[in-house]
């Protein structure tokens, strides 16, 4: 790689959640929804695409806007948001972008001659009589499409939504939509007409009771991949903060629960019961790049549910086809741990917590009435370049973690870039249950200011945890090890 790769892997100003990774030719392309920094709802911006060469996953290129909200004829005023998409290359060699407008019940399709567009509206996934699928009584709510073009050229669409009981679920049921499971639809070669009926594949939370899916029933975020002869269905469970998977030997049924792939709070990783991040929803898919499989997902920022950023981690597929849960890190797409010397933005922290723990990001502004919890944010408004993301509002006992670095065992100088109006201390640990490996005093300062201290730790791979103690609050921009 020309540079090291980090999480989030896109620039600090970019908010592309729900990322579906797709390899076309010699490049990896990311198709996701597009949040607006400071926005009050999900998916407010037009679709954009980013890509990177398979030989260098640190070298991301902005491909621009590939499809606008107002290109859909039912959304000429652009008021409806475009939710999580997927993109596949059809048997005809063209590229098909599947998406949903957030208040409609059907899956829409756009098509282009290039993986980066420009995409043009094609139509709605439809019954053979032309009725959009999702608009007939008994059709499943066609949310969060995932698409597979199988080796034999047959095309399968995976959709569904199974929320917890409440207003939204009641409305969908009144519309006549099924909201109890994920389903698979086979499509004709036109990529848009349903061939046959629905095939239920993974149960929602109610149907999951008493089965292997119990506690991890399907919620949303369908994604499908074929690995060898097996079909892996990735989805967001009713817990929302995790991506789970199910496996089958055929695309339309007999899926068996596999487990959790990743939790954005590391809940369940090696038995951990404690959230190590502020939780919220997540969505993503798997990709194989140079023989290595990855899971792509997203995290929350700005103390909100809907300012989300793209991350990824390496997966290990066992000989029996199972995939153990992976830990969230700061270096997901990197070749290995980050270098033990260099400059790092605080925004690549993979753990973030208040003194007394975390909570769901969609409740943050309501729950943090005392304004004592830290969060990722940036100055200014939503924009396309020159980001300055940082960790804001670290009050007494707040901490952030970075994983992992490769240290050579020499004594180093650690410099932090912060701004604060109070006197305090940043203590640095490789294990929060052991003595600190550095202690840096900070004083009131105008603007971003550097403070330094000695960092002493043995060689090998290790995380770094920064814990703030003191009065007032501290904003944390970057650190350097030299």
What are the pLDDT digits (tens) for 427-437? 999 999 999 99
The CA distance from 40 to 307, in Å, is: 9
The CA distance from 182 to 162, in Å, is: 8
What is the total count of domains within the chain? 2
Mean pLDDT score across all residues of the chain:
96
Strands (E), 228-331: 230-237, 242-248, 256-263, 286-289, 292-300, 308-314
Task: Tell me if 466 is assigned to some domain.
Answer: yes
State the pLDDT at residue 1: 81
Given 314, 349, 374, the domain boundary residue is: 314
Q: Closest by alpha carbon to 294, among 267, 329, 270? A: 329
State the pLDDT at residue 164: 84
The stretch 296-309 carries a mean pLDDT of 95
Same domain, 41 and 108: yes
- Burial grade of 318 (CB within 10 A; 0-12, 13-18, 19 or more): exposed
Known catalytic membership, residue 446: no
The angle at the Cα of 352, spanning 350 to 355, to the nearest 5 degrees, equals 155
Same domain, 120 and 163: yes
Same domain, 238 and 343: no
Same domain, 194 and 243: yes
Same domain, 239 and 106: yes
Same domain, 285 and 382: no
Task: Tell me if 476 is assigned to some domain.
Answer: yes
What are the pLDDT digits (tens) for 426-463? 999 999 999 999 999 999 998 999 999 999 988 999 99
Of the listed 14, 18, 186, 198, which one is catalytic? 18
Is this structure's pTM higher than 0.75? yes
Same domain, 210 and 357: no
Q: Where are the alpha helices (DSSP H) in 229-331?
A: none
Q: Where are the alpha helices (DSSP H) in 97-229?
A: 167-175, 205-208
> Could you tell me the residue range of the domain that residue 417 belongs to?
339-481
What's 182's domain CATH number?
Answer: 2.115.10.20
What are the pLDDT digits (tens) for 271-296? 999 999 999 999 999 999 999 999 99
Q: How many CB atoms lie within 10 A of CB 97?
A: 27
Known catalytic membership, residue 135: no
Of the listed 14, 180, 181, 220, which one is catalytic? 220
- Burial grade of 226 (CB within 10 A; 0-12, 13-18, 19 or more): middle
Instruction: Check whether 65 has a pLDDT greater than 90.
Output: yes
């Amino acid at each position: 790689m020309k540079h090291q790769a980090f999480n989030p892997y896109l620039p600090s100003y970019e908010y592309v959640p729900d990322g579906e990774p797709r390899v076309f030719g010699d490049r990896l392309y990311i198709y996701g929804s597009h949040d607006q920094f400071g926005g009050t709802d999900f998916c407010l911006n037009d679709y954009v695409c980013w890509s990177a060469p398979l030989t260098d996953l640190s070298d991301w290129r902005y491909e621009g806007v590939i499809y606008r909200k107002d290109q859909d004829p039912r959304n000429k005023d652009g008021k409806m948001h475009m939710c999580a998409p997927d993109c596949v290359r059809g048997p005809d060699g063209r590229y098909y972008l599947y998406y949903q407008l957030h208040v409609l019940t059907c899956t829409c399709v756009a098509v282009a001659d290039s993986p980066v567009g420009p995409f043009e509206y094609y139509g709605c996934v439809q019954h053979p009589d032309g009725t959009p699928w999702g608009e007939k009584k008994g059709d499943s709510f066609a949310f969060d499409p995932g698409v597979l073009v199988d080796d034999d050229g047959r095309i399968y669409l995976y959709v569904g939504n199974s929320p917890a009981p409440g207003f939204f679920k009641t409305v969908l049921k009144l519309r006549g939509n099924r909201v109890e499971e994920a389903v698979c639809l086979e499509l004709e070669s036109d990529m848009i007409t349903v061939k046959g009926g629905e095939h239920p594949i993974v149960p929602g939370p109610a149907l999951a009771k008493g089965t292997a899916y119990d506690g991890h029933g399907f919620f949303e975020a369908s994604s499908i991949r074929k690995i060898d002869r097996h079909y892996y269905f990735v989805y967001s469970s009713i817990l929302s903060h995790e991506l789970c998977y199910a496996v089958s030997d055929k695309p339309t049924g007999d899926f068996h629960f596999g487990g959790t792939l990743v939790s954005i709070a590391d809940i369940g990783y090696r038995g951990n019961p404690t959230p190590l991040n502020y939780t919220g929803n997540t969505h993503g898919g798997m990709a194989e790049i140079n023989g290595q499989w990855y899971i792509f997902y997203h995290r929350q920022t700005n103390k909100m549910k809907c300012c989300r950023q793209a991350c990824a981690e390496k997966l290990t597929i066992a000989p029996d086809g199972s995939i153990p849960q992976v830990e969230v890190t700061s270096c997901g797409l990197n070749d290995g741990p980050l270098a033990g010397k260099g400059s790092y933005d605080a925004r690549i922290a993979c753990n973030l917590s208040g003194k007394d723990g975390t909570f769901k990001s969609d409740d943050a502004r309501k729950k943090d009435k005392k304004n004592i919890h830290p969060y990722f944010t940036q100055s200014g408004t939503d924009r396309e370049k020159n980001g300055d993301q940082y960790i804001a509002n670290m009050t007494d006992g707040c901490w952030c973690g970075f994983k992992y670095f490769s240290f050579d065992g020499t004594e180093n100088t650690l410099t932090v870039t912060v701004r604060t109006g109070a006197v305090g201390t940043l203590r640095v640990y490789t294990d929060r249950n052991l003595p600190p490996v550095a202690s840096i005093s900070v004083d009131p300062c105008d603007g971003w200011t550097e403070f330094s201290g000695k960092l002493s730790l043995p060689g090998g791979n290790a995380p770094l945890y920064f814990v703030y103690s003191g009065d007032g609050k501290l904003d944390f921009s970057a650190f350097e090890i030299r």
